[in-house]
Structure 1
């Protein structure tokens, strides 16, 4: 079952999160360019990218697997952002906003994954 990617609110919010984290990374120390900044950018891109990849799969079971990967990437991103917090990198306000949006996206992915799995069980 294919899903209309651009109409998925969870994908839209994940894209917003990617934008927000990229903007946050602009404030990080330049010496973190090839370490923490690259890692944050990869994690944040992975969240909506896995939702996108899963939306094109033929079954909801396969879609749910990609939503699980997206959740995993979100926890990796959360860890990277918490490292920034511990290191006092970047704007506290921007970091807090990233973490708040991330938490909401995580809840949305969990809920959507459960819905997708229930739909698979009904089919």
Structure 2
């Protein structure tokens, strides 16, 4: 799901103005790609505490992406339909991520 979101962010930002290539476009792509990358890195580290730490980093990236999506809307970048679809995907990934964080935290405290 996080990988699918990243692909959608790349597609969405592909239509942003050229002068945003090293600005908003780059920021959105990097924080979107950071989500699945941090989940994978945390899982690969072994140990629930490390996994949880990387999940929290991924959650920060999701929050950052939500902010950039709102900024994109305010600047008039992307269509309302595309932005709404990506916002919905972002929300779904965030819910899954926060659920996983809670599950891992519970396993740490046992």
TM-score band (shorter)?
Answer: over 0.9
Give the length in aligned residue pairs: 110
Q: Per-residue displacement from partner, 1:97-116 (whole Å, max 9, x unpaired)?
A: 11000001111100001111
Question: Where does the alignment leave 5 or more consecutive residues of structure 1 unmatched?
Answer: 1-12
CA contact (8 A) 1:81 1:99 kept: yes
Instruction: Give the match for residue 21 of structure 2.
Output: 33
2:58 to 56, 66, 70: 70
Q: What is the alpha-carbon distance in structure 1 between the residues aligned to residue 58 and residue 109 of structure 2?
A: 21
Shift of 1:120: 2.2
Shift of 1:119: 1.8
TM-score w.r.t. the length of structure 1 is 0.86
Instruction: Give the match for residue 15 of structure 1.
Output: 3
Q: What is the alpha-carbon distance in structure 2 between the residues aligned to residue 72 and residue 17 of structure 1?
A: 15
Q: Which runs of 4+ in 1 moved over 3 A?
A: none
Shift of 1:21: 0.5
Question: Where does the alignment leave 5 or more consecutive residues of structure 2 unmatched?
Answer: none
TM-score w.r.t. the length of structure 2 is 0.96
Question: Is 1:91 aligned with 2:83?
Answer: no
